Amino acid sequence: MIKFFLMVNKQGQTRLSRYYEHVEINKRTMLEAEVIKNCLSRSKDQCSFIEYKDFKLVYRQYAALFIVVGIDQTENEMAVYELIHNFVEVLDKYFSRVVSEIE
């Protein structure tokens, strides 16, 4: 099950956030800061799946945009990884130049 969906720029600013479980605002801010720090600090050579607290993070980077999805332990990481890519392709179709280069 997807717990949250984040779009973040390279400066660590959240551009979009969507939570699928209730999380208090102050906890959201702390969670986003920790998640962003974990994902932005990793190199491109490292795996895009991170075990974090009681869930997993799946992220992809497109140019200056990071998309991070928090999932529970039972969810398939590769399926979510592909979901992120499909989401970006749809955004790019409707809003040209969402990212300068889709990988």
| Per-residue model confidence as pLDDT tens digits over 18-77 | 999 999 999 999 999 999 999 889 888 999 999 998 899 999 998 888 999 999 999 999
Residues 74, 76: Cα–Cα separation, whole Å: 7
What size, in residues, is the chain? 103
Residue 100 covered by a domain: no
Residue 102 covered by a domain: no
Domain hosting 13: range is 2-95
**pTM, 2 dp:** 0.87
- How crowded is the C-beta side of 27, counted as CA atoms within 13 Å? 6
Residue 70 covered by a domain: yes
Cβ(73)–Cβ(55) below 8 Å: yes
| Per-residue model confidence as pLDDT tens digits over 55-66 | 999 999 988 889
Residue 21 covered by a domain: yes
Residue 39 covered by a domain: yes
